[in-house]
Amino acid sequence: MRIKSLSKISGAALVAAVSAVALLVSSPALAAAPAAHSVASHRVCALPIPGYAGCHALVVDGAPGKPAATTAPTGLSPATIKSAYGFSTSSTAGAGQTVAIVDAYNDPTAANDLAVFSSTFGLPACTVANGCFRQVNQTGGSSLPRTNSGWALEISLDVQWAHAIAPGAHILLVEAKSASFADLLAAEQYAANNAAYVSNSWGGSESSGESQYDSSFAKPGVSYFVSAGDAGLPAEYPSASPNVISVGGTLLTFTSGGALASETGWTSGGGGCSAYETATSAQAAFSGYAQVSCAGKRATPDVSLDADPASGVSVYDTTKYSGQAGWFRVGGTSASSPMWAARSAVAGALVNSSYVYGRASSTFRDITAGNNGAPCLVGFDLCSGRGSWIG
**Mean pLDDT in residue range 22-37:** 36
- Domain map of the chain by residue range? 6-389
Examine the pLDDT at 25 and tell me if it is beyond 60. Answer: no
Instruction: Provide φ and ψ at 389, rounded to 5°.
Output: -80, 130
**Mean pLDDT in residue range 325-344:** 98
For residue 74, the number of C-alpha atoms closer than 13 Å in the C-beta half-sphere is 20
Helices (H), the chain: 11-18, 78-85, 110-120, 149-165, 181-194, 281-285, 333-347, 353-358
**Mean pLDDT in residue range 197-207:** 97
Sign of CA dihedral 245, 366, 160, 90: negative
Confidence of residue 24 (pLDDT cuts 50, 70, 90): very low
pLDDT at 38: 66
Examine the pLDDT at 18 and tell me if it is beyond 70. Answer: no
What is the CATH T-level fold of the domain 6-389, as seen in this structure? Rossmann fold (3.40.50)
What is each CA distance from 297 to 124, 274, 280, 283, in whole angstroms?
43, 6, 9, 10
pLDDT at 16: 37
**Mean pLDDT in residue range 216-242:** 98
- Asked if residues 245 and 303 have their Cβ atoms less than 8 Å apart, the reply is yes
| Tens of pLDDT, residues 50-93 | 999 999 999 999 988 889 999 999 999 999 999 999 999 999 99
For residue 305, the number of C-alpha atoms closer than 13 Å in the C-beta half-sphere is 30
Q: Taking all residues of the chain, what is their mean pLDDT, rounded to a whole number? A: 91
Please tell me whether the overall predicted TM-score, pTM, comes out greater than 0.85 for this model: yes
Beta pairing partners, 60:
41
The bridge status of strand 236-237 relative to strand 202-205 is antiparallel
